Structure formats: structure tokens, C-alpha cells
């Protein structure tokens, strides 16, 4: 193929999904000339699966992206049609915001943001080849022969690499939503020496709202109080659209069982491994045969569309069987299917080949982010995207990379897991994966990461001003509550305790200590005039810090011990074969993952505590030499 010189950029981002958008914006905002290449302008920030943002662990990621200066939180605040807090009956470590998105509005708002961003150009094309010289990227080539020089490349191709759509016995090449796949980029990555795997994901059928009988379902409204993901979004109230809860029936399950001989999941047609935490409906029916029903949520996809998403009904069954399944569900007896559910198989890069910066070990300047790294979820993709964008830009600008620790952010947990654990299914971030989740709450992400975002150049003057005002208010009110003491004879506190069913005071106590009583809430202080009217974020922070202060302090102590191991760095040129006493499995795994610290090495499966001790002794001997 004849190529021609089409231009030169410092950073090129391949793919404009959630990872690509964050990567491109981060690079451009840090001052690098950036090109964002997408197969289709209409697919920018596409939501091919559930049109929602947030949930446990995922809401924390959104807030962390926002605190660093990213766009995901700002964009969902512009385009949501419902917001609610989930896990309200549990502790603050697992409480999370979840927003239902108008997926068309979400796309339009993100596209507008990209088009308005200085230093950023968008190109609609298919990248077929990544070019390198002496182990470093030098440019890209498109299907039409356009060659763009660059210093860094971020591949965020999602599930498009050799995408294959499967609906019953119908199989064809395609990306999400029957879009074009990226067929040649996979081979280029392999030619560069990268090992690829094959994963599978799926999506449910979409149905017509007009054909749904909501009287047979349970309404799931949003929260009445205004909620937001971004710390800088304006607080306002807009009409919310409800989601609806229904359930599958024994008849539903029987239809599935009667058609397993036509189910690609069970006939061997599907080869890729799917996500355990988001299985296909037919897989759930078989694995949990003792259950008579499964929860299904019918969710709107936007304000100006008739489409509704049937969450929990991911399937690759034949189209005629999907219709039978749908019509056996209460409220969907007369449903009309608009889009068929499908499975999609795609190539991904084994993330053990990545550094903690998301740069590939073998090719300098080549970064990967999002589902190409074997993850699932918009939020996980966007989190990787902003880190890859930051580190690509910092490399071009000759600055030190940004690596977040497990103790700093869920983003740190996500990337550390990807680069130290072997993947046998698409990775999904869970709160249980974070050892210090009480410290990594969604409410304090700005306190943890805004200063870092400011240092790397992504936090604007306005965002920094808002952050400083908040921290000053928190410090002032925390100090006041610690110093403000009440006594058993206090005429305000006495009646309040009686009204709340709380035991009377016996001794003098501060408002801070008193708030630790489980029956008291910080809003009680507001009602009796002991506290000024503050923003919801401030009140939430004060209450959590007061009630969980003891547990928080314990986790800080655990972090100190954790960071001792993280500070013991492993030289890049180390030869594990020369370390006597290491098990053969440990040598193999350490050579495979190449951890940067002893702490990271200790989290690799196959590296035992005995191996870690041997490694520590060896490193200490080398240090003394």
C-alpha cells in the first residue's frame, strides 16, 4: 500500500470510547498536540451496553477521575436521567452513586467537549499499523494510507479488535452495536511482539417502551435530593425517569433450557471467556437451576428515545428465542424487541506485558488502556484512559510518570491488579479488591487526588479554588466541633437526645465525640442550630470523619506498613535466576510480571511469603555491596 505523510502529533490516541476520550483530553490539556482517531464520529463515547455510570467501586473511580481533572463525572452530570445512592443501608466504604444516562445526550456532550478542546484534532479512520524504530513508536498508518508521525501512541480500541458478533447460529465480523470492527490492528500488535488473548462479552435485547406494561413491575425512582458525580458540576434538579424491576419466571427458564442446543454459549461457538460477574442469562439459568427467578431491570436509554434496556438479560440466543424469553416475563407479555441481544468476541492485550504506567514493556511510547487490557466497564476504561493520557504526555514532555498506589486510589488498585495478576476473565473492579476501602471512599476522592491533578496540570484554576474553599471549611468546622463542648445540663442537646431516643449525657463531651452515637446524624445538629447550613459534600465528610475516626486511623496505620514494602524497589535489571532459594514458580512469575517493588511482587500469584523473604534478603545484600 502506498502511504503519504498526513501530519505530525506528539500523542496519537486510537479509539474514542470512554478510555480514548479521557486519554485524548488529558494529553491535550497538558499541552501536547494530540490526534484522536475513531472508526466513527457517531460512536464517540458510545454506550453499547448498560447506559449507566457508577455503582460500587465504579462510583469511586468516577470521582477519582474527576478529582484528577478528567471528564467522565462532568459529562454524566450533564446527561443523566436518573441519579440515586445505592447501598445506603451499608457503611460509607461501599455506598455509591449510580446514574442512568441518556446515551445520545452523553455522546453529544462528550463530542462537544472534544471538539472545543485546544491541542486536539479528531480523525475518522481505521488504524491498520503501528510503526516503530529501535524499539520506540514513530507513527501510525491508516487503512487509506495516511501516515502520522508521533512520539507516543495510546491504543484504546475497546472490543473492536477482530470483533465477532454472535446471535444464535448467525456469526459475522463487527464491533459493538453492529459497527465496523478493527481487523488489522490486532496483527500489527502481534507483529510488535505483544501477546493477545480472546474475551467475550454480551448485551441484552432492547425493547420498545410503548409495549411494556409497567403495572406489573416495581418502580425504581431516583433520589429526590440533587446528586452529582463531579465536584465542580452545578447542583440543580431536573425531571428524572424511573427504572423498573421485574423477574424472570419458571416459564422463562424452561424456554432457555429447551433451546440450549441453539445457544452459542453451550454449543462451542463462543470460544472467548466472559465476565463472571456479568454472565449471560442462559448461563445463569443453567448454573443456578435451583432458582425460580432472577431480577431484571428495565431501564430507559434516553429522554428522546423509545428504547429500553433489559439489565440482567445478556444473551446470544437466536432472535426467535429471545422474543419468547422476553414475552414470558411479567410486564413484557406483549413486548416488541427493537434490537437483538448479542455476544461479541474480541482480542485483548495480556496486561502482564504492561508497566504500572500502562506503557508496554517491549515498545517505548506505546500505551494501552480500557477493554483492550482485559477489563470490563466504562468506568474502568476511563480510569485507565486518563492515566495513560497523563503518562504519555509526561513522557513526551520529559517528566516523571504518575503511578497511583493501592492506598491512594481505586485507580491504583485497578492498575496494580491488572499488572500483577493473571487474567482468566474480563476484570471488573469490586470494593472487596481494595484493602483500604474505608480510606478510598467516593466522598473524599477530591481530598485524595485534587492536589495531584493540580501538580500534573489537569486541575483548572476554578476547580482548584472550589477545592481550597472546601478544605478550608472542613478544617474550620472540624476544629469547631472538636472544641465545642456540651454538658448534661445543656438546654439544646438534652431535648435532642430525648427526641432521638439516645441516653442522656453523664459528662462534658464535644460535638465531635457525641456524633459517634449511631442514633445521631449531623443533620440533627443543623435542626437545633448547632451547625451552619453547609453543602451536602461538607456535611457528609464531617459525619463520616467523626463516626469512623477510629477505624480510619487504624487503616492509616495499615497503610504505613504497606508502604514500607512498596518503598523497597526492585532494580529493573535484576536477574531472578541468580537469586538462590527462590522457587522455580516464583522465578517464572517474577520474570513474567517484572514487579517494580517488593510489595508488588508479594501480590503476584505463585510468589510465596518465603519467596518474598528471600527476595528481601537478596536486595539488602545487594544494597550493602
d(CA 97, CA 84): 6
Nearest to 98 by CA among 411, 389, 311: 311
Please report, to the nearest 10 degrees, the dihedral formed by the alpha carbons of residues 316, 317, 322, 326 taken in order: -70
Based on the fold, state whether residues 130 and 160 are members of the same structural domain: yes
Look at strands 120-124 and 34-38 and give their pairing. parallel
Based on the fold, state whether residues 16 and 158 are members of the same structural domain: yes
pLDDT at 275 over 90: no
Confidence tier at 84 by pLDDT (50, 70, 90) = very high
Q: Read off the pLDDT of each residue in 371-385 and give the average, rounded to a whole number.
A: 97
pLDDT at 432 over 80: yes
Confidence tier at 46 by pLDDT (50, 70, 90) = very high
Residue 316 domain-assigned (yes or no): yes
Q: Model confidence over 330-351: pLDDT tens digits?
A: 999 999 999 999 999 999 999 9
Based on the fold, state whether residues 577 and 605 are members of the same structural domain: yes
Last residue of a domain, one of 293, 317, 342: 342
pLDDT at 453 over 90: yes
pLDDT at 534 over 80: no
pTM above 0.75, yes or no: yes
In percent, the amount of the chain with pLDDT more than 90 equals 80
The DSSP secondary structure of 92-154, one letter per residue, reads TTT-EEEEEE-HHHHHHHHHHHHHH-TTEEEEE--EEEEEEETTEEEEEEETT-EEEE-SEEE
Nearest to 483 by CA among 523, 511, 458: 511
In percent, the amount of the chain with pLDDT more than 70 equals 99
Residue 485 domain-assigned (yes or no): yes
pLDDT at 553 over 90: yes
Across 430-508, the runs of DSSP E, i.e. the strands, are: 485-486
Q: Model confidence over 395-420: pLDDT tens digits?
A: 999 999 999 999 999 999 999 999 99
Confidence tier at 471 by pLDDT (50, 70, 90) = very high
Based on the fold, state whether residues 291 and 241 are members of the same structural domain: yes
Residue 569 φ/ψ, nearest 5 degrees: -80, 150
- Look up the CATH number of the domain holding residue 352: 3.50.50.60
Residue 555 domain-assigned (yes or no): no
Domain encompassing residue 181: 4-202+346-456
Last residue of a domain, one of 327, 342, 357: 342
pLDDT at 226 over 80: yes
Residue 562 domain-assigned (yes or no): no
Q: Model confidence over 161-184: pLDDT tens digits?
A: 999 999 999 999 999 877 889 989
Based on the fold, state whether residues 71 and 51 are members of the same structural domain: yes
pLDDT at 625 over 90: no
Last residue of a domain, one of 406, 421, 456: 456
Based on the fold, state whether residues 130 and 216 are members of the same structural domain: no
pLDDT value at residue 409 = 97
Residue 464 domain-assigned (yes or no): no
Based on the fold, state whether residues 83 and 172 are members of the same structural domain: yes
- Look up the CATH number of the domain holding residue 595: 1.10.150.570
**On the CB side of 118, how many CA atoms lie within 13 Å of its CA?**
3
Q: Read off the pLDDT of each residue in 542-570 and give the average, rounded to a whole number.
A: 91
Element (H, E) at 29: helix 18-29
Based on the fold, state whether residues 354 and 335 are members of the same structural domain: no
Residue 470 domain-assigned (yes or no): no
Based on the fold, state whether residues 318 and 354 are members of the same structural domain: no
pLDDT value at residue 225 = 86
Residue 498 domain-assigned (yes or no): yes
Average pLDDT, the chain: 94
How many other CB atoms are there within 10 angstroms of residue 72's CB atom? 31
pLDDT value at residue 1 = 77
pLDDT value at residue 529 = 86
pLDDT value at residue 38 = 97
How many structural domains are present in the chain?
Answer: 4
36-50, 260-274, 395-409, 433-447: lowest mean pLDDT where? 260-274
Based on the fold, state whether residues 138 and 39 are members of the same structural domain: yes
Confidence tier at 299 by pLDDT (50, 70, 90) = very high
d(CA 271, CA 413): 29
Confidence tier at 125 by pLDDT (50, 70, 90) = very high
254 or 605: whose pLDDT is higher? 254
- Look up the CATH number of the domain holding residue 298: 2.40.30.260
Based on the fold, state whether residues 490 and 452 are members of the same structural domain: no
pLDDT value at residue 98 = 97
Residue 50 domain-assigned (yes or no): yes
- Look up the CATH number of the domain holding residue 526: 1.10.10.1800
How many other CB atoms are there within 10 angstroms of residue 542's CB atom? 22
Based on the fold, state whether residues 277 and 414 are members of the same structural domain: no
Amino acid at each position: 500500500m502506498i502511504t503519504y505523510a498526513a501530519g505530525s502529533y506528539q500523542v496519537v490516541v486510537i479509539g474514542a470510547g470512554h478510555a480514548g476520550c479521557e486519554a485524548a483530553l488529558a494529553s491535550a490539556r497538558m499541552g501536547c498536540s494530540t490526534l484522536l482517531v475513531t472508526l466513527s464520529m457517531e460512536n464517540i463515547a458510545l454506550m453499547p451496553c448498560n447506559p449507566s455510570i457508577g455503582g460500587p467501586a465504579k462510583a469511586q473511580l468516577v470521582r477519582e477521575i474527576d478529582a484528577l481533572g478528567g471528564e467522565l463525572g462532568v459529562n454524566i452530570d450533564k446527561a443523566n436521567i436518573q441519579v440515586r445512592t445505592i447501598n445506603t443501608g451499608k457503611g460509607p466504604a461501599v455506598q455509591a452513586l449510580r446514574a442512568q444516562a441518556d446515551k445520545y445526550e452523553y455522546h453529544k456532550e462528550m463530542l462537544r467537549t472534544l471538539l472545543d478542546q485546544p491541542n486536539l484534532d479528531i480523525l475518522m479512520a481505521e488504524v491498520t499499523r503501528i510503526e516503530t524504530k529501535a524499539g520506540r513508536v514513530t507513527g501510525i498508518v491508516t487503512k487509506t494510507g495516511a501516515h502520522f508521525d508521533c512520539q507516543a501512541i495510546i491504543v484504546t480500541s475497546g472490543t473492536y479488535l477482530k470483533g465477532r458478533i454472535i446471535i444464535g447460529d448467525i456469526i459475522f465480523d463487527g464491533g459493538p452495536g453492529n459497527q465496523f470492527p478493527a481487523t488489522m490492528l490486532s496483527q500489527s500488535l502481534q507483529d510488535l511482539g505483544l501477546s493477545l488473548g480472546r474475551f467475550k462479552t454480551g448485551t441484552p435485547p432492547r425493547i420498545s417502551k410503548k409495549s411494556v406494561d409497567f403495572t406489573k413491575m416495581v418502580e425504581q425512582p431516583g433520589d429526590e435530593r440533587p446528586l452529582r458525580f463531579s465536584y465542580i458540576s452545578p447542583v440543580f434538579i431536573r425531571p428524572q425517569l424511573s427504572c423498573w424491576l421485574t423477574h424472570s419466571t419458571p416459564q422463562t427458564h424452561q424456554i432457555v433450557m429447551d433451546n440450549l442446543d441453539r445457544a452459542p454459549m453451550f454449543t462451542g461457538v463462543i470460544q472467548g471467556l466472559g465476565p463472571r460477574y456479568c454472565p449471560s442469562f442462559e448461563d445463569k439459568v443453567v448454573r443456578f437451576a435451583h432458582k425460580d427467578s432472577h431480577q431484571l431491570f428495565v431501564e430507559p436509554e434516553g429522554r428522546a428515545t423509545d428504547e429500553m434496556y433489559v439489565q440482567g438479560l445478556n444473551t446470544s440466543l437466536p432472535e426467535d428465542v429471545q422474543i419468547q424469553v422476553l414475552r414470558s416475563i411479567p410486564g413484557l407479555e406483549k413486548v416488541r424487541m427493537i434490537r437483538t441481544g448479542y455476544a461479541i468476541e474480541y482480542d485483548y492485550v495480556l496486561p502482564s506485558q504492561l508497566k504500572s504506567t500502562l506503557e508496554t514493556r517491549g515498545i517505548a511510547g506505546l500505551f494501552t488502556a480500557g477493554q483492550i487490557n482485559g477489563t470490563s466497564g466504562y468506568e474502568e476504561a476511563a480510569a485507565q484512559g486518563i492515566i495513560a493520557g497523563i503518562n504519555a504526555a509526561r513522557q513526551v514532555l520529559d517528566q516523571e510518570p504518575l503511578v497511583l498506589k493501592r492506598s491512594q486510589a481505586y485507580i491504583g488498585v485497578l492498575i496494580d491488579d491488572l499488572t500483577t495478576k493473571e487474567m482468566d476473565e474480563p476484570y471488573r473492579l469490586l470494593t472487596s479488591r481494595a484493602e483500604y476501602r474505608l480510606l478510598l471512599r467516593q466522598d473524599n476522592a477530591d481530598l485524595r487526588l485534587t492536589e495531584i491533578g493540580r501538580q500534573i496540570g489537569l486541575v483548572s484554576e476554578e476547580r482548584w479554588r472550589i477545592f481550597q474553599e472546601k478544605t478550608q471549611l472542613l478544617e474550620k468546622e472540624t476544629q469547631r466541633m472538636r472544641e465545642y463542648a456540651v454538658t448534661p445540663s445543656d438546654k439544646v442537646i438534652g431535648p435532642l437526645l430525648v427526641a432521638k431516643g439516645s441516653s442522656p449525657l453523664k459528662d462534658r463531651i464535644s460535638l465531635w465525640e457525641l456524633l459517634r452515637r449511631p442514633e445521631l446524624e449531623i443533620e440533627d445538629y443543623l435542626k437545633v442550630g448547632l451547625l451552619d447550613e453547609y453543602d451536602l459534600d461538607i456535611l457528609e465528610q464531617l459525619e463520616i470523619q467523626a463516626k469512623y475516626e477510629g477505624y480510619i486511623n487504624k487503616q492509616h496505620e495499615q497503610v504505613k506498613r504497606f508502604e514500607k514494602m512498596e518503598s523497597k524497589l526492585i532494580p529493573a535489571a535484576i536477574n531472578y535466576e541468580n537469586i538462590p532459594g527462590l522457587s522455580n514458580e516464583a522465578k517464572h512469575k517474577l520474570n513474567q510480571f517484572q514487579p517494580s517493588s517488593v510489595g508488588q511482587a508479594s501480590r503476584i500469584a505463585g510468589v510465596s511469603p518465603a519467596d518474598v523473604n528471600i527476595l528481601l534478603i537478596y536486595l539488602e545484600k545487594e544494597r550493602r555491596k
